[in-house]
């Protein structure tokens, strides 16, 4: 990717901005190929959530990811270039090719060195590589380079503005637009965000299950039998409920609420540009790569939190001591280490995998958690690793292929983005992908011609909430059902 050094802050000097865009256009003419002009700079602290609130629209692609523990957040709005793969096993490769060719045709300038600055590609994948088109408005893979990107890491804040330039674009208009975009963004006040208010007091809702919870229990019983017959070792069965909202869904309110309730989770949202949103608070990182260091979470095995410290401690200890939970967890560790080893990554040393799982304690639930670390050589692309890892036995089962076939047999809804990878890659081999669990798909109900707001009090917004639980030999169907209910209740409280 060519980098044009610049002493001036292009976005404080119109002539410099024009000159840079003219250089990019010249390259577009010479190469007979549109070029992406990418300008990155450090800006005074801005809240990415406030930028999302100001600029996200149903008609724009957007992406938001917050890691409260690391005090990091990134918002990406609208696309300069994008790629959509409707289905296919090669979807990860096709996104990788899109990222590669976009980087080749990008001319970057400004502050590109600090972590979290510069070019990022935002990606979402559905759980299955052939999502059903009626019920999943998200394609098998989507990646985009945003028009506006704002990232915050501790107290530093970076803005990137990306523009796709054709050889015959009107440079005066384009340069004016980029100038205005910058002015708009830096004048968005961070205190524009609404005061945090628990949402369940604001929003009434009507709820109905896509299938009865009874069906979940029946499926769990059948799956336990199949495991007894040695057809497979583990399956993660999910349940979904649909909720109709009485007041319009408010994306920023829900994100604030999730962040307040789950400070140790990754808070995320993405919009498909047609009004569908996917939002949640996931405790599970599928892939984090910073400066050649990889970390991936094995997260499986769960217990509720106790009502008193004593009860909590007893539940935690029982979770750590349970052979069944440790087996469920071990299947995930084994799968991940095998994937990494197949890619030539070294996970054989003591530092890579702790002997005993940690506990990850969230406000409503606790999990067995093993972070797995290793170095990544520069020739292994993050999307190559992702393609191997998804879906792990934490969300599918073991062996992977049989578990996926069985999920389709037992579940009567399309998983869409649920339990699938969501995240970003940059142009330096860094990446952050989470697993889209503890999540919901928000969409608008098609309104009938007879719709009358005075007689129909619903907002027209619907939410489909998902929750899953891992089933292994020795699972108790009632306990798995209770885990699903616990997870769904937590989402209901946070989202609607
Ligand atoms: C599948 C989900 O969670 C997964 C299942 C877990 C379990 O069964 O113990 C724990 C964490 C996640 O890996 C979900 O929350 O929907």
By most ligand atoms within 8 Å of CB, the mutation choice from 468, 479, 481, 490 for ligand 1 is: 468
- For domain 199-495, the question of CATH label 3.10.20.30 is answered with no
Based on its alpha-carbon atoms, the radius of gyration of the chain, rounded to whole angstroms, reads 23
Interval 96-114 mean pLDDT: 94
Atom in ligand 1 nearest the alpha carbon of residue 392: 13
Q: How many CA atoms lie within 13 A of 49 on its CB side?
A: 26
- The protein residue whose alpha carbon is closest to atom 9 in ligand 1 is 301
pLDDT tier for residue 193 given thresholds of 50, 70 and 90: confident
The stretch 466-487 carries a mean pLDDT of: 95
Q: Is the dihedral of CA 495, 263, 315, 320 positive or negative?
A: positive
pLDDT band at 203 (very low <50, low <70, confident <90, very high): low
Give tens-digit pLDDT for 145-156.
Answer: 999 999 999 889
Ligand 1 centroid–CA 10 distance in Å is 47
Q: For 360-393, how does the pLDDT look when each residue is reduced to its tens digit (9 = 90+)?
A: 999 999 999 999 999 999 999 999 999 999 999 9
Q: What are phi and psi of 353, to 5 degrees?
A: -135, 115
| CA-closest candidate to residue 57, choices 289, 220, 274, 269 | 274
> pLDDT for 329-356, tens place per residue?
999 999 999 999 999 998 877 677 878 9
pLDDT surpassing 70 at residue 211: no
> Does 284 qualify as catalytic in the annotation?
yes
What DSSP designation does 3 have? Answer: B
- pLDDT above 90: residue 75: yes
Q: Which of 214-218, 454-458, 468-472 comes out lowest in average pLDDT?
A: 454-458
Map out the domains of the chain as residue ranges. Answer: 10-192, 199-495
Nearest partner of 421 among 296, 286, 280, 293, judged by Cα = 286
Distance from C-alpha of 462 to C-alpha of 464, rounded to nearest angstrom: 7
The position carrying tokens 């999540």 is 439
CB 435 within 8 A of CB 423: no
Mean local confidence (pLDDT), 89-115: 94
Collapse the DSSP code of 301 into the 3-class scheme (helix H, G, I; strand E, B; otherwise coil) and give the result.
strand
pLDDT at 492 over 60: yes
Q: 66, 234, 325, 480: which one is catalytic? A: 234
Q: What is the pLDDT of residue 455?
A: 46
- Strands, E assignment, 427-482: 431-435, 439-444, 461-472
pLDDT, one tens digit per residue, over 223-240 is 999 999 999 999 999 999
What is the band of 189 on the pLDDT scale with cuts at 50, 70, 90? confident
User: What is residue 135's DSSP assignment?
Assistant: T
Cα–Cα distances in angstroms (integers) from residue 453 to residues 166, 206, 210, 433, 445, in the given order: 45, 17, 26, 41, 13
Cβ atoms < 10 Å from Cβ of 383: 27
Checking if the pLDDT of 72 tops 90, the result is yes
Coil, helix or strand at residue 179: helix
Cα–Cα nearest to 423, from 270, 291, 312 = 270
Torsion of Cα atoms, 234 then 352 then 89 then 126, to 10°: 70
**Residue of 283, 331, 358, 367 with the most ligand 1 atoms within 8 Å of its CB, for mutation:** 367
What's the pLDDT tens digit per position in 115-145? 888 999 999 999 999 987 666 799 999 999 9
Q: Considering the chain, what is the average pLDDT of its residues? A: 91
The strand pairing partners of 298, in sequence order, are 370
Contacts of 401 (CB under 8 A, 6+ apart): none
Q: How far apart are CA 318 and CA 329, in angstroms?
A: 14
CA nearest neighbour of 296 among 126, 435, 419? 435
Give the model's pLDDT for residue 79.
97
Mean pLDDT of 56-60: 93
134 is catalytic: no
Assess: ipTM above 0.95. yes
For residue 109, count CB atoms less than 10 angstroms from its CB and return exposed for 0-12, middle for 13-18, buried for 19 or more.
buried
Determine whether the shortest distance from the Cβ of 468 to ligand 1 is under 6 A.
yes
With 80 as the cut, is the pLDDT of residue 22 above it? yes
Please write the tens of the pLDDT for every residue from 436-466.
999 999 998 655 444 344 445 556 788 999 9
Nearest CA to ligand 1 atom 6: 300
Whether 392 is in the pocket of ligand 1, judged by its Cβ within 6 Å, is no
Per-residue confidence (pLDDT) for residue 206, from 0 to 100: 65
Distance CA 104, CA 93 (A): 16
Confidence bin at 194 (pLDDT 50/70/90): low
């Amino acid at each position: 990717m060519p980098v044009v050094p610049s002493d001036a802050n292009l976005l404080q000097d119109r002539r410099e901005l024009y000159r840079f865009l003219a250089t990019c256009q010249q390259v577009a003419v010479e190469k007979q190929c549109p070029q992406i002009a990418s300008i990155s700079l450090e800006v005074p602290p801005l809240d990415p959530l406030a930028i999302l609130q100001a600029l996200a629209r149903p008609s724009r692609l957007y992406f938001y990811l917050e890691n409260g523990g690391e005090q990091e957040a990134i918002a990406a709005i609208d696309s300069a270039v994008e790629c959509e793969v409707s289905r296919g096993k090669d979807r990860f490769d096709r996104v990788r090719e899109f990222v590669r060719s976009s980087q080749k045709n990008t001319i970057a300038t400004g502050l590109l060195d600090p972590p979290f600055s510069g070019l990022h590609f935002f990606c979402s994948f559905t759980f299955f590589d052939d999502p059903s088109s009626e019920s999943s408005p998200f394609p098998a893979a989507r990646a985009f380079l945003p028009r506006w990107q704002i990232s915050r890491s501790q107290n530093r804040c970076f803005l990137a503005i990306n523009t796709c330039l054709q050889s015959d674009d009107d440079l005066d208009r384009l340069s004016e637009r980029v100038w205005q975009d910058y002015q708009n963004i830096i004048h968005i006040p961070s205190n524009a965000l609404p005061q945090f208010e628990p949402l369940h007091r604001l929003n009434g809702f009507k709820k109905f299950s896509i299938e009865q919870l009874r069906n979940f229990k029946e499926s769990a019983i059948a799956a336990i039998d199949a495991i007894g017959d040695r057809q497979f070792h583990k399956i993660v069965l999910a349940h979904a409920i649909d909720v109709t909202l009485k007041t319009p869904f408010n994306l920023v309110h829900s994100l604030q609420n999730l962040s307040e309730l789950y400070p140790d989770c990754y808070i995320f949202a993405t919009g498909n540009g047609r009004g569908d949103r996917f939002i949640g608070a996931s405790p599970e990182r599928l892939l984090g790569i910073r400066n050649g260091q990889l970390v991936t979470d094995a997260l499986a095995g769960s217990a509720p939190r106790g009502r008193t410290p004593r009860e909590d401690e007893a539940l935690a200890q029982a979770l750590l001591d349970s052979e069944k939970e440790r087996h469920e967890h071990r299947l995930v560790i084994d799968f991940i280490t095998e994937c990494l080893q197949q890619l030539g990554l070294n996970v054989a040393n003591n530092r890579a995998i702790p002997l005993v799982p940690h506990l990850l304690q969230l406000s409503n639930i606790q999990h067995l958690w093993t972070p797995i670390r290793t170095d990544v050589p520069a020739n292994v692309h993050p999307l190559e690793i992702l393609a191997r890892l998804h879906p792990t036995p934490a969300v599918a089962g073991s062996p992977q292929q049989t578990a996926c076939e069985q999920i389709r047999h037992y579940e009567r809804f399309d998983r869409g983005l649920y339990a699938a990878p969501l995240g970003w890659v940059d142009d330096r081999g860094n990446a952050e992908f989470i697993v889209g669990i503890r999540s919901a798909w928000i969409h608008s109900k098609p309104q009938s011609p007879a719709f009358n707001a005075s007689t129909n009090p619903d907002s027209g917004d619907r939410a489909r909430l998902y929750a899953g639980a891992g089933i292994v030999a020795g699972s108790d169907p009632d306990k798995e059902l209770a885990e699903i209910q616990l997870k769904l209740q937590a989402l209901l409280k946070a989202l609607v």
